[in-house]
């Protein structure tokens, strides 16, 4: 399962997450891992509607949508959650630690203790293509963690 920040204009109009330019890159990132949203990846957002003017979600807005997201996670029961971008990662983990410091390790997402890893947001990667190498490292790490989970291995201390 991948969790982004909030719908953009196109997502809001279509009622589907990640369908714009950033969504195309996200689909390519998934394809590189031999995964796709039709068969094995569910995509959701922290916020369920678009913040006015595309501004960052406010903490009270994220808090209002949290129950909805937690129910989605429960229903999907994902092997692994990938938080996409700083806002999603910080929101989900309840931290203000920089994304760079959250990368490369497995976190436990409360209240279910779901394994969670983080990566950069595809919209950021479109603006900063030099960072794609790091995103690739993150996705390879996510794939490794996922494979270990599928083999019944523990990934959390």
- For residues 124 and 85, give the distance between their C-alpha atoms in angstroms, rounded to a whole number: 8
We find the least distance from the C-beta atom of residue 69 to ligand URA, in angstroms, to be 12
Complex with ligand URA: residue 70 or 149, whichever CB lies closer: 70
State in angstroms the smallest separation of the CB of 122 from ligand URA. 8
Contact residues for ligand URA, defined by CB under 6 A: 4-8, 11, 17-18, 22, 45, 123
Kind of pairing, strands 2-4 and 107-109?
unpaired
CA distances from 31 to 28, 92, 113, 116, 121 (A): 5, 25, 27, 20, 16
Comparison of 35 and 44: residue with beta carbon closer to ligand URA: 44
Nearer to ligand URA, 24 or 105 (CB): 24
What residues contact 46, with CB distance under 8 A and at least 6 apart?
3, 4, 5, 6, 57, 62, 65, 69, 87, 88, 91, 92
CB of 155 to ligand URA, least distance (A): 25
Query: Nearest-CB residue to ligand URA?
Result: 4
- Minimum separation from the CB atom of position 7 to ligand URA (A): 5
């Amino acid at each position: 399962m991948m969790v982004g920040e909030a719908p953009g204009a196109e997502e809001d109009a279509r009622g589907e997450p990640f369908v714009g330019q950033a969504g195309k890159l996200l689909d390519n990132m998934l394809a590189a891992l031999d995964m796709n949203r039709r068969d094995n990846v569910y995509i959701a957002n922290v916020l369920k509607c678009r913040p006015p003017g595309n501004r960052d979600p406010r903490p009270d807005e994220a808090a209002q949508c949290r129950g909805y997201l937690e129910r989605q996670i429960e229903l999907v029961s994902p092997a692994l959650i990938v938080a996409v971008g700083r806002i999603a990662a910080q929101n989900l983990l309840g931290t203000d630690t920089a994304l760079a410091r959250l990368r490369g390790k497995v976190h436990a997402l409360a209240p279910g203790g779901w394994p969670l890893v983080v990566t950069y947001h595809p919209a950021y990667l479109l603006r900063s293509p030099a960072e794609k190498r790091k995103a690739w490292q993150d996705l390879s790490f996510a794939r490794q963690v996922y494979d270990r989970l599928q083999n019944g291995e523990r990934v959390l201390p």
